[in-house]
Structure 1
C-alpha cells in the first residue's frame, strides 16, 4: 500500500522539520527513500503535497489537510502502543498516559498540583502529563489527538471538540501593595479607574486578553498597557517590583506571595466575567485512564464551590462567591 503508518510518519516529520534531509536524519533513513514515501502519498491522493525550494519544504493546501489527519492517526497509534506496553495480559490496574491542558491565567490552573497528587495517590500507574499553554493551542492539541482533554477559556463552539461549561469566573485587579488606588469600602474598583493604572496583561493571542480588551472598548476606555507577560512567575515578580498591576481571576490573585501581598480589588461597573469549559474530542472515544482522570478533575472543580469557596467563581450562569 502507498499509505501506511511509515509513509505518514515520513510526511509528518518532513513537514515538522521543513526539510527532507533533516527529516531523513531524524528518521534514520536515506533521503531518496524518504522522497519515495512522499511520492507514493502524492500518487495515492493525486495531489501535490509538498512544495520544494532552496530553503526547504512546506505543505500545499492538500498537504496541510493530510498533515492534520496524519497527526491524529499517528497520535492514536502512539496512545495504543503506550497503553498495551504498560498493560500485561492479566493486569487489572488502570495505567497508561493521560495528557491534560489547563489554561494559563485561569482558575483551572490552580488545580494542577491537586490533580497531580490525586492521580498519583489513586492511580499510581497512570503517567499524567499537564500542559499549561494558550487556550487556543490547547484546543488544537485536543482536536489533533495530542492531548486527551483541556480546561480552557472558550467563547464559541469549536469544530472537532465538545465543550462543557465548568465554571464562571469574575476578574480582579491585582496591584502592588504600594500602588495608590481609589478608596473602596467594599473591595471593588470601577473599570473606568483602571485607565490611569499601568497594566501588565497577557498577549492578544490569549482569550482572556481579548475579553479584557472588549470590556475596555465597550466602556470607551483606552487602557495603559505597559507590558505583555505570559509567565505567571514573571508577572508575580513584576507586581512585587511595582512595575504595574494586572487583571486576573481571584484564585490566581491569591497565589503565594513571598513578599508583601498585593492589593486585590473586584472590577465593577461593569464586572468582567468569563466561562471556563472542559474541551474533549468528539471524534474518538476516551481511554480508560483518561476517564478516571476526568472524574478526578470534575470532583476538584466541584470542590472549588465548597467551603471555603474561591472568590469570584460560580457555576455557569450562577451568582459568584464573594
Structure 2
C-alpha cells in the first residue's frame, strides 16, 4: 500500500462519493477508480460497496479506514517533527474535555500555558460526551482527554486519576432547599431531569440507586446544559450534576445545590490516553502541562497516581 492510495481511500469514505471525492482531490474519476481497484487488489478485499446513493465501506473497509487514519496522522506528525527539528517543538495536539465537569476549567489555563511556552504547538480542544471522547482516543483520532474514568480498566486505554468530584442535587428556589447534604433515598423520589442512560453521570446515578433497590424518577431526559439550566430556572424539577457544574448553575440562576450522601457518588476525573499508540513530542508536553495545572487544584489525586492499564491477557 502506498500513502497516496490510503489518502484517496480515506477521502472517498469521508465524502461517500467517488465523483465528489475525485473533484475535491483534483483527480479524474477513472484514475481514482483505478487507484481504488489497485488498493483492493493489494489487500485482497472489497473495501467499498457501490450503491445508487454513493459508496459505503465494507467491514474490511471500515477496519482499513481506522488504520489509514492512524497511519496518515503519524506520517503528518513525522513530517512536522522533521521540519521543526532545531526550531522548537511544533505540531497539532488534540485534547478532549468532558463537558459539565471541572475539565472545562482547564481550557483557558491550558491555552495560555501552551501559547506562552510552546507557540509552535497548535491545540485542538473538543468538548463532547465522555464515551465519545474515549472512543476517539482509543482510535487514535484524539491524543488526550480529560473525562470520567479510571475506576475500571478499559482495553486500549490508559487512565491517570486527576481530580475527585462529587455529584450534587440541583433544584430551583421554588422548591425548598435541603441541607448541605441530602440522602440519595430522598433524591430518588423527586422529579428529575437527567441525561440518557448511556451518559456517564446517568450511569453513576442509576448504579447508586440500584444499590438501594431504587430507581430515579426521571420526568425528562436532557443532554443540553443550557436547556437543563433553563428548565431548573423555570422551576420544573431538579437534576443531578457534578459539583463544578452545580456551582455554575447556582451562580447564574435562582437555584441551590446539595451534595448527595448515603451513599455519596464520586465522579473522579482522569487523564485518558491510548495504551498502545505513542504520544508525539508536542502531545507529551501538553500532557505534562495538564498534570502541572491540575496539581494546583484542591482535591487533586495526583499524589502517587499511576496510569491504570488493562492487564495483559
Task: Give the C-alpha shift of residue 9 in structure 1.
Answer: 1.5
Please provide the CA RMSD for this pair.
Answer: 2.6
* Helix, strand or coil at the partner of 1:254: helix
2:173 matches 1:177: yes
Q: Is the 8 A contact 1:166 1:316 kept in 2?
A: no
Question: Paired residue for 1:136?
Answer: 131
Gapped runs of 5+ residues in structure 1?
Answer: none
Q: Is the 8 A contact 2:100 2:244 kept in 1?
A: no
Task: Give the C-alpha shift of residue 189 in structure 1.
Answer: 1.0
2:160 matches 1:164: yes
Give CA deviations for 1:47-92 in whole Å, capped at 9, x if unaligned.
Answer: 111122223222222111111111111122233344455x3x642x
2:141 matches 1:150: no
2:302 matches 1:304: no
Give CA deviations for 1:121-159 in whole Å, capped at 9, x if unaligned.
Answer: 333332111111122221222233322111122253333
Q: What is the TM-score when the length of structure 1 is the normalising length?
A: 0.84
2:252 matches 1:241: no
* Helix, strand or coil at the partner of 2:128: coil
Task: Give the C-alpha shift of residue 171 in structure 1.
Answer: 0.8
* Helix, strand or coil at the partner of 2:165: strand
* Helix, strand or coil at the partner of 1:169: coil
Q: Write the mapping of 1:187-198 to structure 2, written as runs, cut at 5 A.
A: 187-198=180-191
Give CA deviations for 1:273-312 in whole Å, capped at 9, x if unaligned.
Answer: 233221112333322222222111102222222xxx5xxx
Q: Whole-Å Cα distance in 2 between the matches of residues 159 and 17 of structure 1? A: 31
Change (3 A) 1:257 1:190: closer
Give CA deviations for 1:237-273 in whole Å, capped at 9, x if unaligned.
Answer: 3322223322122122112766445211111121112
* Helix, strand or coil at the partner of 2:94: strand
Q: Write the mapping of 1:18-167 to structure 2, written as runs, cut at 5 A.
A: 18-84=16-82, 87=84, 90-91=86-87, 93-154=88-149, 156-167=152-163
Q: Whole-Å Cα distance in 2 between the matches of residues 22 and 243 of structure 1? A: 49
Q: Write the mapping of 1:246-285 to structure 2, written as runs, cut at 5 A.
A: 246-255=239-248, 259-285=252-278
Q: Is the 8 A contact 2:170 2:256 kept in 1?
A: yes
Q: Whole-Å Cα distance in 1 between the matches of residues 270 and 6 of structure 2? A: 33
Q: Whole-Å Cα distance in 1 between the matches of residues 271 and 142 of structure 2? A: 12
2:199 matches 1:206: yes
Question: Paired residue for 1:228?
Answer: 221
Q: Whole-Å Cα distance in 2 between the matches of residues 188 and 29 of structure 1? A: 65
Q: Is the 8 A contact 2:18 2:29 kept in 1?
A: yes
Give CA deviations for 1:163-213 in whole Å, capped at 9, x if unaligned.
Answer: 2222332211121222224x43xx111112123323222223322222222
* Helix, strand or coil at the partner of 1:286: coil
Aligned residue pairs total 304
* Helix, strand or coil at the partner of 1:105: coil
Q: Whole-Å Cα distance in 2 between the matches of residues 25 and 212 of structure 1? A: 50
Q: What is the TM-score when the length of structure 2 is the normalising length?
A: 0.86
